[in-house]
């Protein structure tokens, strides 16, 4: 079951990853099971180029 999504797109070095880590930490501290949290980074240049080329 998906309760929510967080999708961030912004320029590099704006703190997106740090913000996600803080959200994950808050969820864990509130008792959310770690197995219920999925973090996927598209920082891999190959994945990034393929995704954005396809969706423009």
Nearest to 4 by CA among 20, 45, 48: 20
Q: What is the pTM of this model?
A: 0.64
What's the pLDDT at 5?
78
What's the pLDDT at 44?
65
> Of 4-8, 23-27, 47-51, which one has max mean pLDDT?
23-27
Is 37 or 52 the better-scoring residue by pLDDT? 37
Distance CA 31, CA 13 (A): 30
- Residue-range domain boundaries for the chain: 16-54
Residue 47 — pLDDT band, cuts 50, 70, 90?
low
> What is the pLDDT averaged over residues 27-46?
86
- Contacts made by residues 28-31, CB under 8 angstroms, sequence distance 24+: none
């Amino acid at each position: 079951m998906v309760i929510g999504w967080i999708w961030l797109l912004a320029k590099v070095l704006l703190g997106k990853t740090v913000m996600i880590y803080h959200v994950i930490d808050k969820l864990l501290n509130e008792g959310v099971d770690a197995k219920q949290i999925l973090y996927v980074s598209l920082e891999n240049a190959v994945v990034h180029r393929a995704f954005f080329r396809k969706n423009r």
